[in-house]
Structure 1
Amino acid sequence: MSTFAIIVSLILLILLAYRGLTVLLLAPLMAALAVILSGDAAYLLPIYTNTFMGALGNFTIQFFPLFFLGALFGQLMSDSGAAQTIANAIVNKLGTQHVVLTVVMACAILTYGGVSLFVVAFAIYPISRELFYRTDIPKRLIPGTIALGSFTFTMTALPGTPAIQNAIPIPYYETNSFAAPGLGIIAGLIMLGLGMLYLLLQVKRAAANAEGYGQHKEQETVDLDTSSPTPDMPLILAIAPLCMVIGLNALFTYFIFPSLDLSFISDEFEGVTPSRQTGLWAVLIALLSASTWLVISRWRDWTDLKSTVNKGCFDSLSPIFNTASVVGYGAVIAGLSGFTAIRDAVLNAFPGNPLISEAMAMSVLSGLTGSSSGGLSIALETLGSEYLAMALEAGIDPELMHRVATLAAGGMDTLPHSGAVITLLTICGLTHRQSYGHVAMVTIVLPVAALISVIALGTLFGSF
Structure 2
Amino acid sequence: MGLAGILLGLALLVWLSFRGWSVLLLAPAAALLAALFAGEPLLAHWTQTFMGGAARFLAQFFPLFLLGALFGKLMDDSGSVAAIAAFMTDKLGPRRAILAVVVAGALVTYGGVSLFVAFFVLAPMAQALFQAAAIPRRLMPAAVALGTSTFTMSALPGTPALQNAIPMPFFGTTPFAAPGLGLIAAAIMFGFGLWWLERARARAARAGENGAAAPPLLPGEVAEDLLVRERATTAREFDPAEMQHGHRGERKPPVLVAVLPLVVVVAVNLVMSFVVLPRLDAGFLAEPRWGPTTLAAVGGVWSVATALAAAILVLVLANRTRLPALRDTADAGANASVLPALSVASLVGFGGVVAALPAFALVREWVLGIGGGPLVSLALATNVLAALTGSASGGMTIALEALGPTYMALAAQLHIDPALLHRVAVIGAGTLDSLPHNGAVVTLLAVCGSTHRESYLDIVMVCILGAILALATVIVLGTLFGAF
Is the TM value for this pair above 0.5?
yes
Match 1:337 to one of 335, 338, 358: 358
Deviation at 1:264, TM superposition (A): 2.7
Q: Report the equivalent of 2:389.
A: 369
Q: Distance in 2 between matches of 1:338 and 1:275?
A: 32
Deviation at 1:270, TM superposition (A): 4.3
**Root-mean-square deviation (Å):** 1.6
Q: Distance in 2 between matches of 1:270 and 1:6?
A: 31
Q: Distance in 2 between matches of 1:272 and 1:9?
A: 33
Q: Distance in 1 between matches of 2:248 and 2:294?
A: 44
* One-letter code aligned to 2:166: I
* One-letter code aligned to 2:5: A
Q: Map Cα deviations across residues 319-347 of structure 1 (whole Å, 9 max, x no partner).
A: 11111010011111112222211111001
Q: Report the equivalent of 1:142.
A: 140
> Secondary structure, in 3 states, of the residue corresponding to 1:382?
helix
> Secondary structure, in 3 states, of the residue corresponding to 1:337?
coil
Is the 2:111–2:266 contact (alpha carbons within 8 Å) kept by the matching residues of 1?
Answer: yes
Is the 1:156–1:166 contact (alpha carbons within 8 Å) kept by the matching residues of 2?
Answer: yes
Q: Map Cα deviations across residues 273-306 of structure 1 (whole Å, 9 max, x no partner).
A: 1222112101111100100111112223321111
Is the 1:56–1:327 contact (alpha carbons within 8 Å) kept by the matching residues of 2?
Answer: yes
Q: Distance in 1 between matches of 2:446 and 2:13?
A: 21
Match 1:231 to one of 247, 251, 263: 251
Deviation at 1:35, TM superposition (A): 2.1
Is the 1:79–1:230 contact (alpha carbons within 8 Å) kept by the matching residues of 2?
Answer: no
> Secondary structure, in 3 states, of the residue corresponding to 1:39?
coil
Q: Distance in 1 between matches of 2:155 and 2:104?
A: 17
| Deviates further, 138-147 or 179-188 | 138-147
- The 5 Å alignment of 1:250-261 reads 250-261=270-281
The list of structure 1 runs, each at least 4 consecutive aligned residues, that deviate by more than 6 angstroms after superposition, is none
CA distance 1:37–1:388, change in 2 (3 Å):
same
Q: Distance in 2 between matches of 1:203 and 1:327?
A: 40
Q: Report the equivalent of 1:247.
A: 267
Q: Distance in 2 between matches of 1:420 and 1:26?
A: 19
* One-letter code aligned to 1:438: D
Deviation at 1:54, TM superposition (A): 1.1
Deviation at 1:269, TM superposition (A): 2.6
Provide the identity percentage.
46
Deviation at 1:202, TM superposition (A): 0.6
Q: Report the equivalent of 2:6.
A: 6
Q: Distance in 1 between matches of 2:324 and 2:407?
A: 50
Number of residue pairs the alignment of both structures matches: 455
Is the 2:89–2:129 contact (alpha carbons within 8 Å) kept by the matching residues of 1?
Answer: no
Deviation at 1:132, TM superposition (A): 1.2
Deviation at 1:194, TM superposition (A): 0.3
Is the 1:157–1:187 contact (alpha carbons within 8 Å) kept by the matching residues of 2?
Answer: yes
Q: 2:318 matched to 1:320?
A: no
> Secondary structure, in 3 states, of the residue corresponding to 2:174?
coil
* One-letter code aligned to 1:303: P
Q: Report the equivalent of 1:278.
A: 299
Q: Map Cα deviations across residues 180-206 of structure 1 (whole Å, 9 max, x no partner).
A: 000000000000000000011111111
Q: 2:432 matched to 1:434?
A: no
Q: Report the equivalent of 1:17.
A: 17
Q: Distance in 1 between matches of 2:86 and 2:248?
A: 11
Is the 2:217–2:448 contact (alpha carbons within 8 Å) kept by the matching residues of 1?
Answer: no
Deviation at 1:375, TM superposition (A): 0.6
* One-letter code aligned to 2:483: S
Is the 1:18–1:416 contact (alpha carbons within 8 Å) kept by the matching residues of 2?
Answer: no
Deviation at 1:258, TM superposition (A): 1.1
Match 2:409 to one of 359, 383, 389: 389
* One-letter code aligned to 1:26: L
Is the 1:231–1:301 contact (alpha carbons within 8 Å) kept by the matching residues of 2?
Answer: yes
* One-letter code aligned to 1:298: N
Q: Report the equivalent of 1:224.
A: none
Q: Distance in 2 between matches of 1:230 and 1:273?
A: 46
Q: Report the equivalent of 2:476.
A: 456
* One-letter code aligned to 1:271: P
Q: Distance in 2 between matches of 1:204 and 1:452?
A: 28
* One-letter code aligned to 2:137: K
- The 5 Å alignment of 1:25-424 reads 25-40=25-40, 43-213=41-211, 218=216, 229-267=249-287, 269-350=290-371, 353-424=373-444
Q: Distance in 1 between matches of 2:123 and 2:217?
A: 14
> Secondary structure, in 3 states, of the residue corresponding to 1:264?
helix
Deviation at 1:266, TM superposition (A): 2.5
> Secondary structure, in 3 states, of the residue corresponding to 1:148?
helix
* One-letter code aligned to 1:247: A
| Deviates further, 177-186 or 363-372 | 363-372
| Deviates further, 111-120 or 8-17 | 8-17
> Secondary structure, in 3 states, of the residue corresponding to 1:413?
helix
Q: Distance in 1 between matches of 2:93 and 2:291?
A: 56
* One-letter code aligned to 2:327: K
Deviation at 1:218, TM superposition (A): 4.3
Deviation at 1:215, TM superposition (A): 7.5
Deviation at 1:219, TM superposition (A): 8.3
Q: Report the equivalent of 1:445.
A: 465
| Deviates further, 264-273 or 194-203 | 264-273
- What are the ranges of 5 or more consecutive residues in structure 1 without an aligned counterpart? 221-226
> Secondary structure, in 3 states, of the residue corresponding to 1:313?
helix
Q: Report the equivalent of 2:222.
A: none
Is the 1:388–1:398 contact (alpha carbons within 8 Å) kept by the matching residues of 2?
Answer: yes
Deviation at 1:45, TM superposition (A): 1.4
Q: Distance in 2 between matches of 1:270 and 1:115?
A: 31
> Secondary structure, in 3 states, of the residue corresponding to 1:319?
helix
Is the 2:285–2:292 contact (alpha carbons within 8 Å) kept by the matching residues of 1?
Answer: no
Q: Distance in 1 between matches of 2:213 and 2:361?
A: 52
> Secondary structure, in 3 states, of the residue corresponding to 1:300?
helix
CA distance 1:206–1:330, change in 2 (3 Å):
same
What is the TM-score normalised by the length of structure 2?
0.91
Q: Distance in 2 between matches of 1:160 and 1:320?
A: 22
* One-letter code aligned to 2:159: T
| Deviates further, 19-28 or 249-258 | 19-28
- What are the ranges of 5 or more consecutive residues in structure 2 without an aligned counterpart? 219-246
